[in-house]
Amino acid sequence: MARKPITRFVCTQCQAVFPKWNGRCDVCGEWNTLEEETISATPNRPQGGAGAAAGRPGRLITTRLDGKATPPARIETGMAELNRVLGSGLVPGSVVLVGGDPGIGKSTLMLQTTCALARSGHDVLYVSGEEAIDQIRLRARRLELDGDPKTLERLELAASINVADIAASLEEVKSRKVVVIDSIQTMWLEGVSGAPGSVSQVRSCAFELIRLAKTQGFALVLIGHVTKEGALAGPRVLEHMVDAVLYFEGDRGHQFRILRAAKNRFGATDEIGVFAMTDAGLREVPNPSALFLAERRGNIAGSAVFAGLEGTRPVLLEIQVLLSAKSGDGAARRAVLGWDSARLNMILAVLEARCGLKLASMDVHLNVTGGLRINEPAADLAVAAALISAATGQPTDPNTAYFGEIGLSGEIRQVPQTGLRLKEMAKLGFRTALLPRHVGSASARPKAPAGLQLEELGHLADLMK
C-alpha cells in the first residue's frame, strides 16, 4: 500500500520549520510565508562505512593533521575580475551561487564568462530557464561573442527548466568543465511539491545539481535572484549548500557593478570585482579609482577623497556632504548613501564635542559616489574633512586624499595597509596625503611614494586648522 507522503511547512523568510500550516510564521512574524514541502517517510541511512552493509554504523577513518594536502585545481574564467573574487578561478566540483537583483546583469556576466571559458578551450554548458535560445543568441550577437570558432565549438546552450532532463544529459556527456544554471528559481524537479521558485523546489533542484557537480567534477554556477517578497525563495535558502556565494550589486541608475563574495570556501571574502555595464555588455574595470573619481569637480565645498581598501585592492572614492538648515520640528535628517549612518552620527558628535562644530540643527546628506558601499572605519577622516568643508564653505584641496579612523576623544587612529593606500594616491596624481600619526617603531614608518607629501594628524583639531 502506498504510504501517505509526510509534509511539513517551511517559512520562505526565515526557513523555520513547522508541522502545521499557519497564517503567520511564529519565528519571524511574517504573514503568508509558510509553504508546504514533502519529506520522505523513512529517514535514509547514509551510505558507506565499514558496517553499513550489515546495517550497523561504520567506524570513522581518522587521520593526522600534517598529512599531504594539495591545493584545489583552478579553472581560469578568462574574466580577471571574477577570478579575483573567486580566488583565482573556479574550483572543479565546486558550486558557486551568483545572486543579485533582477536586471542587474547576472545573465550578461555569466554569458560573457561562459564564452570566455569556451574560448580558452573548456567545454561549457549554459542552461537558461528564463530566456529562449533566440534571446540568448541575440544578446551574444549584440555583445559580439558569437564570432569565435572555438567558442561556438565548446559552448552548448539549452533552454530548459527540467532538472531531470539536465541531469540525464550531464550524465551522458561527462567532459563538461563548467555548467551554468540561469536561474535556480526557474528549475523544476518532478515529485517535489511546489511551483518553481518555492523553497522546496529551489532546495531540491539545487541539491540534485550539486550532487551531480560533486560526482562528475564540473564546476557549477547557480544564478539566483534576490527577492524582497517571500513568493520566490531567495538565494539565502541556498547559501549553506554551496561553496561560494557571490553577490552582484550596483545601482541600476549607475553603470558600475560590484561583484562581492559573501562566502568563499576556497578564498578570501573581502575581494571585490568591479565592472561597468555598457552598450557592449560588462566591461572589466581593473583600475576603479580612476573611474570613481572621473566625474569629480574640484573647488566645491563638502567633498573629500577617501583612500579606501577593498580586500587587497586600494580604491579611491569621493565622499560628498550637503548640509542644509533643518526642515520641520523633529530631529534633523541624516540621509546616508554608501556608508553607515551610526558612524556618521558618531563623527558629528565628536566634531561638536571636541572641535566645537555645531551641526545638530542641520540636515546632513552624505553620498559615496559611484554607488560603492564603504565598510571601513578608515573613511572617518575623509568624512570629517567633507563635513568641515561643507560647514565652512571652504573646498578641500583637490590634490589631497584622506584616510584614518576617528576615536571618541577626537584622536586619529591608525588603519591597516597604509603603504597600499599611499601608492594608489601617488599613481593617480595626488600630491598630499592626510593620514594618522605614525605610532610605533621608526623603521615601520610609512615611506612617501615619489611626488606625494605626507601630513600626519594626531587629532581632529589638527584637521580643523
Annotated binding site for ATP: 100-107
Q: Which residues contact 252 (CB under 8 A, 6 or more apart)?
A: 101, 103, 104
- 56 exposure class (CB count in 10 Å sphere: 0-12, 13-18, 19+): exposed
Name residue 168's amino acid: A
Q: Is 87 in the site for ligand TYD (CB under 6 A)?
A: no
**SS3 state of residue 1:** coil
Q: Which is nearer to ligand TYD, 147 or 393 (CB)?
A: 147
Name residue 410's amino acid: G
Site for ligand TYD in 161-190 (CB under 6 A): none
**Shortest distance in whole angstroms from residue 375 CB to ligand TYD:** 23
Strand 155-159 to strand 124-128: parallel, antiparallel, or no bridges (unpaired)?
parallel
**Cβ proximity of 33 and 11 under 8 Å:** yes
**SS3 state of residue 344:** helix
Alpha carbon distance 151, 121 (integer Å): 8
**Shortest distance in whole angstroms from residue 130 CB to Mg ion:** 5
Q: Which is nearer to Mg ion, 223 or 401 (CB)?
A: 223
CA angle 109, 107, 157 (to 5 degrees): 105
Specify which residues 171 forms β-bridges with: none
**Shortest distance in whole angstroms from residue 246 CB to ligand TYD:** 12
Q: Is 237 in the site for ligand TYD (CB under 6 A)?
A: no
- Strand runs (DSSP E) across 340-449, as ranges? 362-368, 400-402, 405-406, 412-413, 432-436
Q: Which is nearer to ligand TYD, 291 or 332 (CB)?
A: 291
Select from 460, 413, 447, 455 the least CA-distant residue to 431: 455
Q: Is 105 in the site for ligand TYD (CB under 6 A)?
A: yes
97 binds, among ligand TYD, Mg ion, none (CB under 5 to 8 A by kind): none
Alpha carbon distance 358, 391 (integer Å): 9
Q: Is 257 in the site for ligand TYD (CB under 6 A)?
A: no
- 432 exposure class (CB count in 10 Å sphere: 0-12, 13-18, 19+): middle
108 binds, among Mg ion, ligand TYD, none (CB under 5 to 8 A by kind): ligand TYD
Residue from 134, 190, 279, 295 binding ligand TYD (CB under 6 A): 279
Select from 219, 110, 201, 93 the least CA-distant residue to 157: 110
**Shortest distance in whole angstroms from residue 139 CB to ligand TYD:** 5
Q: Is 272 in the site for ligand TYD (CB under 6 A)?
A: no
Residue by residue, what is the 3-state secondary structure of 42-74?
CCCCCCCCCCCCCCCCCCCCCCCCCCCCCCCCC
Q: Which is nearer to Mg ion, 128 or 400 (CB)?
A: 128
**Shortest distance in whole angstroms from residue 134 CB to Mg ion:** 15
432 binds, among Mg ion, ligand TYD, none (CB under 5 to 8 A by kind): none
Residue from 87, 100, 224, 234 binding ligand TYD (CB under 6 A): 100
Q: Which is nearer to ligand TYD, 180 or 379 (CB)?
A: 180
**Shortest distance in whole angstroms from residue 465 CB to Mg ion:** 53
Alpha carbon distance 130, 135 (integer Å): 10
Contacting range for ligand TYD; rule: CB under 6 A; set: 208-216, 234-242, 275-283, 450-458: 275-283
Residue from 84, 106, 176, 260 binding ligand TYD (CB under 6 A): 106
Contacting range for ligand TYD; rule: CB under 6 A; set: 103-111, 301-309, 310-318, 378-386: 103-111
Contacting range for ligand TYD; rule: CB under 6 A; set: 25-33, 71-79, 102-110, 235-243: 102-110
Q: Is 139 in the site for ligand TYD (CB under 6 A)?
A: yes
Residue from 46, 48, 55, 103 binding ligand TYD (CB under 6 A): 103
**Shortest distance in whole angstroms from residue 135 CB to ligand TYD:** 9
**Shortest distance in whole angstroms from residue 112 CB to Mg ion:** 13
Indicate the annotated binding residues: 100-107
Residue from 7, 15, 38, 108 binding ligand TYD (CB under 6 A): 108
Strands, sheet with 362-368, edge to edge from the N-terminal-most edge strand: 334-337, 362-368, 313-325, 303-310, 400-402, 432-436, 453-457
What does the block give as the cell for 169?
Answer: 544529459
104 binds, among ligand TYD, Mg ion, none (CB under 5 to 8 A by kind): ligand TYD
**Shortest distance in whole angstroms from residue 225 CB to ligand TYD:** 7
DSSP letters, 214-241, are HHH--EEEEEEE--SSSSS--GGGTTTT
Residues that bind Mg ion (CB under 5 A): 107
Q: Which is nearer to ligand TYD, 141 or 174 (CB)?
A: 141
Furthest-apart CA atoms within the chain: distance in Å: 87
Binding site for ligand TYD (CB under 6 A): 100, 102-108, 139, 143, 277, 279-281
